[in-house]
Structure 1
Amino acid sequence: MRAMYTAATGMMAQELNVQVISNNIANMRTTGYKKQRAAFQDLIYDHVRRVGAQASDQGTILPVGVDVGGGVKTVGTPRLMGQGTLASTGNELDVAVRGEGFFKIQVPDGTYAYTRDGSFQMDAQGRIVTAQGNPVQPTITVPQNSSGLTINMQGQVSVVLPGSTTPVTVGQIGLTRFINKAGLQPIGDNLFTDTPASGTPQDGIANADGFGDIQQSNLEQANVEVVTEISDLISAQRAYEMNAKVVSAADQMMQSTANMFR
């Protein structure tokens, strides 16, 4: 019976929906995380009677047709790149982007990845790096025994050298933006890579030419809304249960039909 297979597609769709929601909830405290949602479309239809077809020899036209749907399919899990709330940390190496732009990171294979997670550290060479030890681009090295590290809204990193009271700029944290942020490919560790769908990376400076500004001693929180996720989870669970009920009803109808032949 077709209804059984149609309902099965609904169950599979809602299973994936729950997986997406669970990942959002799991990352509700992940710095710079951008939530996802599952997007669905209906499957191909079996046109038993096509609307607009000729209904008689007199040329009358069918005002409605008979179209039997095949169920539902998942077409994507787009990532919503809205701004997350900024939270003050008091750490001088924590930075957040307020507005457009990603931090550019060089990964071990020499290529570049991008992130909204600005919880940076300093390695043994004095370079500003991510939690995985990957250097922020352009590479910035903080001199030994310097003090008073500050990062302004343009991303300029300044320190006070020994024997001096005047801040000296030692580097510039750059930002990168994309025409289609949702087209970035997540690779884990809060990193994204560019794809043909995201467009070419556009490097620039914070607080200029449409880029956002940088806020020192702040981190961007995940843009997950817990109440919304819980509501979506309940809806997905109920939709799964209703599709399961259809499978059960179709099975009972088939059983009734089989009993007629006994």
Structure 2
Amino acid sequence: MENIIYQSMKAAIRILENQNVIANNLANISTTGFKETFNLTIKNENVKNLYKTQTQKYYNFSEGILTNTQRKLDLIVKKDGWFVIKDINGTEAYTKNGHLQINSQGQLTIQNHKVVGNKGDIKIPNNINVKILSNGVIKTIDEKQNKNFEKEIGSLKLVRFPKNNLIQKSNGFFYLKNKEVDQYSTIPHDNTVRVQSEVLETSNVNPTKNMIDMISNARQFEMNMKMISMYDQNIEHANQLLNVNN
């Protein structure tokens, strides 16, 4: 019996972890570039023909719906490319969110984190129009005498790597797994990655599927709680019988 309650408790804890992941997905339906997350439970059979479960997190990297914004600092990075930012610790992190802003210091930011440039820091002059080319090059546009004069002021660092090398942290950004971080101090810019301006990629969360999964998990959790409750009742009845016999 002890094994039954142990397995029920483990299953209940696993279900709660899944619910947290689903709740986070639903909370980020409107987050630009957000990638849906799932917990995958794997059962491994050992030499005693018993099953040991292991939970692994994986990500849905499929593309979200593309929306036209007509804003020059809104970008999508195509296919398996990524934008690069610096987190609060100064570590490079990766995102599909291409909603760029210019802060009071003239720096390009994503979600208030500085965007990393391919050739050093990017400084945007005040009161100037800019455009970003498909290769990430940033140019200022100065109109004089009905003519446009363009000047390159920097370029975005764009990277590409296998998706199974990535892990997402609580800040919502992706990082390379430890073994990859040890291998590379920083990931080099990839000249083949392309961006497109005036477009944003929405979250790829499927709300219907996540709601169904949440309801299913709730029912499974209730079933495990009932099993634990029945175990407690059986123990109580057994103790009453022992007391009567004594």
Fold-level similarity (TM above 0.5) = yes
> Which structure has the larger Rg over C-alpha atoms?
1
Q: Which amino acid aligns with 2:69?
A: T
**1:88 and 2:89 aligned:** no
Structure 1 match to 2:110: 130
**1:165 and 2:165 aligned:** no
The whole-number CA distance in structure 2 between the counterparts of 1:129 and 1:180 is: 24
Structure 1 gaps, min length 5: 48-66
Structure 1 residue 194 displacement after superposition = 2.4
Structure 1 residue 158 displacement after superposition = 2.5
For the aligned residue pairs, the C-alpha RMSD in angstroms reads 2.7
The whole-number CA distance in structure 1 between the counterparts of 2:50 and 2:173 is: 43
The whole-number CA distance in structure 2 between the counterparts of 1:145 and 1:21 is: 43
Structure 1 match to 2:238: 257
**1:184 and 2:167 aligned:** yes
Structure 1 match to 2:18: 17
CA shift digits 1:45-101 (9 cap, x unpaired) = 794xxxxxxxxxxxxxxxxxxx565xx645222222222222222222111112111
TM-score of the superposed pair, with normalisation by structure 1? 0.77
Native 8 Å contact 1:4 1:251 kept in 2: no
CA shift digits 1:158-185 (9 cap, x unpaired) = 2322524233333222311222445334
Structural mapping, 1:38-77, within 5 Å: 38-42=39-43, 47=48, 73-77=53-57
**1:106 and 2:107 aligned:** no
Report percent identity of matched pairs. 25
Label 1:144 to 1:110 Cα distance change in 2 as closer, same or farther (>3 A).
Answer: same
The whole-number CA distance in structure 2 between the counterparts of 1:91 and 1:135 is: 18
Structure 1 match to 2:124: 142
**1:230 and 2:231 aligned:** no
Structure 2 gaps, min length 5: none
The whole-number CA distance in structure 2 between the counterparts of 1:81 and 1:96 is: 14
More helix as a share of residues:
2
Which piece of structure 1 moves more, 195-204 or 171-180?
195-204
Structure 1 residue 29 displacement after superposition = 0.9
TM-score of the superposed pair, with normalisation by structure 2? 0.81
Label 1:152 to 1:181 Cα distance change in 2 as closer, same or farther (>3 A).
Answer: farther
Label 1:45 to 1:259 Cα distance change in 2 as closer, same or farther (>3 A).
Answer: farther
Native 8 Å contact 1:184 1:198 kept in 2: no
Which piece of structure 1 moves more, 174-183 or 227-236?
174-183
Q: How many residues align?
A: 234
The whole-number CA distance in structure 2 between the counterparts of 1:6 and 1:106 is: 43
Native 8 Å contact 1:113 1:191 kept in 2: yes
Label 1:10 to 1:100 Cα distance change in 2 as closer, same or farther (>3 A).
Answer: same
Structure 1 residue 7 displacement after superposition = 1.0
